[in-house]
Chains A and B, each alone.
Chain A
Amino acid sequence: MTRYSAFAVAREAFRNHQGWTRAWASPEPKRRYDAIIIGAGGHGLATAYYLGKNHGIRNVAILEKGWLGGGNTGRNTTIIRSNYLQDPSAAIYEKARSLYEELSQDLNYNVMFSPRGVMMLAQTEHEIRGYKRTAHANALQGVDTEFIGPERVKKLCPIIEIRGPRYPVLGALWQPRGGTARHDAVAWGYARKCSEMGMDVIQKCEVTGIRTEGGKVVGVTTSRGDIDCDKLGIVVAGHSGHVADMAGFRLPIESVALQALVSEPIKPCMDVVVMANTVHGYMSQSDKGEMVIGGGADGYNNYTQRGSFHHIEETVRALVETFPMISRLKMLRMWGGIVDMTGDRSPIISKTPVEGVFINCGWGTGGFKAIPGSGWATAEMIAKGEPGPLAEAFGLERFREGRFIDESVAAGVAH
């Protein structure tokens, strides 16, 4: 496998780029693996990567029914931040954010992490109080955030209309170390490293059944035959309920469509990420110049991966008030992903009623930012059989015991 470097780019330039090798292999599934991960999204791939890197478990297959990163990982608006309210959330999201800082070096793959700063607008009195509270909580958690006034908002993002008619900008929660990264590159970078460690990333391989003996997992049934394993990680986001059903347990999860859209590319006009949670809209500018816009989620279960026009209308209508200059932009594409929502809007990293089966899900509308930290914590749980300090608060039993990690209050939408 070619190592990527400035030298390699120069060398290839002199030989018509004939020397690049494939970034990952496409092997046939083996009969048996020590561990199988279902789902080659960011979380599944990162889990496999840290299983190999941190715990030396490398006889691993990652099974994907579609293509690498073709689920929510390749459909999200890539906002990375860690300014959550509750301690367990701040710990895992901050771990992820700090891993993102060095991820390109670690993976030898440019994930284009851009810590350009994330601003969450306060547009009601209630939000001002909420975000001030979060800023205080973050100070105690060691997460670098600050509540800033409207003048500072205008200075950081001149295209904002702070005196908007319905929702004037009253301030913002500002995390200067937040930002964006290239979503596909995160999936591809992890896949390349997994493949390099000898793991099998197997695409177009749908898991259709989970085989158990005496309450313990022994393998999976797939569209490409039966494969045995000692340990199984289910990391399938919106499809979690359906896959858990194969193992015979139910989840506190509902799957709904979340949508996003991008505009035609324009000249650079905005170098921060802005989230406006009261009106359910958020926006950033991609390196290509497109305005990347995300909106609200559907209110009812579905698996259609497309979404509906009225959400787009709602989002854009609201954003035009705050960013009047986008009113004449043409939109290029819209798409949807199926997100896995839990009751407290926090993820699940947990053992399950079936021995040897572990689950990572419930990241809902906001799990891209968590990929490295979540993979780190899930790998530790799968390797040791018990959740470690980052994961332990996120167990399934919290719903029965009433120990919620309530982030729905902290952020109306949680991207």
Chain B
Amino acid sequence: MLILTCPYCGVACDETELAPGGEAHLKRFGPGSTDEEFEGYLFQRENPRGVHFERWRHAYGCGKWFHAARDTVTMEVFGTYSAQVTEPPEEIRAKISAKHPGWSWREFS
């Protein structure tokens, strides 16, 4: 069972208390964008085997959206952070680097 700590209320929630919201830090494309950009935004996903960044909502708690950094293979949670940012904070990156030197993801923001 996956346990994530809500960064707002500090509650360690098991996954039944949360609503998953999919891949994080997507750059929005809308009117005026190319077909490729719009397709990328809507459908193409990183879907990594390893380090991943996601959106979650504390559905049966404070109701707020937040971000989580997680390993999709080991299920290790590197940390959770505010929804109001476009990339993961330095401390979470450092934690991931300690475990997975040289890790990469797609470009943030």
Contact = CB atoms under 8 A, between A and B. Distances in A.
Interface of A: 239, 241-242, 250-255, 299-304, 308-310, 342-343, 399-401
Contacts, number: 69
A300 B45 contact: no
B45 A242 contact: no
Given A300-B54, A302-B72, A400-B35, A343 B48 contact: no
A253 B20 contact: no
B46 to A, nearest CB: 8
A315 to B, nearest CB: 14
Contacts of A304: 72-73, 75
Contact of B2 (A241, A300, A342): A300
B33 to A, nearest CB: 12
B94 interface: no
A254 B47 contact: yes
B1 interface: yes
A343 B42 contact: yes
A242 B35 contact: no
A142 to B, nearest CB: 32
Interface of A is mostly: mixed
Contacts of B72: 255, 301-304
Interface string B37-74: 01110111111110010100000000000000000110
A298 to B, nearest CB: 8
Nearest to A299: B20
Interface residues of B, number: 27
Contacts of A309: 1
A242 B45 CA distance: 11
B36 interface: yes
B81 to A, nearest CB: 17
Contacts of A400: 35-36, 38-39
A242 B51 CA distance: 12
Contact of B47 (A299, A301, A310, A343): A301
Interface string B1-38: 11000000000001110011011000000000001101
Given A241-B48, A250-B45, A252-B43, A301 B54 contact: yes
Contacts of B54: 300-301
A302 B45 CA distance: 13
Given A242-B49, A301-B52, A399-B39, A251 B44 contact: yes
Contacts of A251: 44-45, 47
A45 to B, nearest CB: 23
Given A300-B54, A301-B54, A399 B49 contact: no
Contacts of A310: 1, 14-16
Contacts of B36: 400
B13 to A, nearest CB: 13
A147 to B, nearest CB: 33
B1 A308 contact: yes
B16 A252 contact: no
The 5 closest A-B pairs by CB, nearest first: A252-B43, A241-B47, A299-B20, A300-B20, A400-B39
A253 B23 CA distance: 12
A254 B45 contact: yes
Contacts of B47: 241-242, 251, 253-255, 301
A399 B43 contact: yes
Contacts of B44: 250-252
B98 to A, nearest CB: 22
A401 B42 CA distance: 12
Contact of A302 (B22, B38, B43, B75): B75
B1 A303 contact: no
Contacts of A253: 45, 47
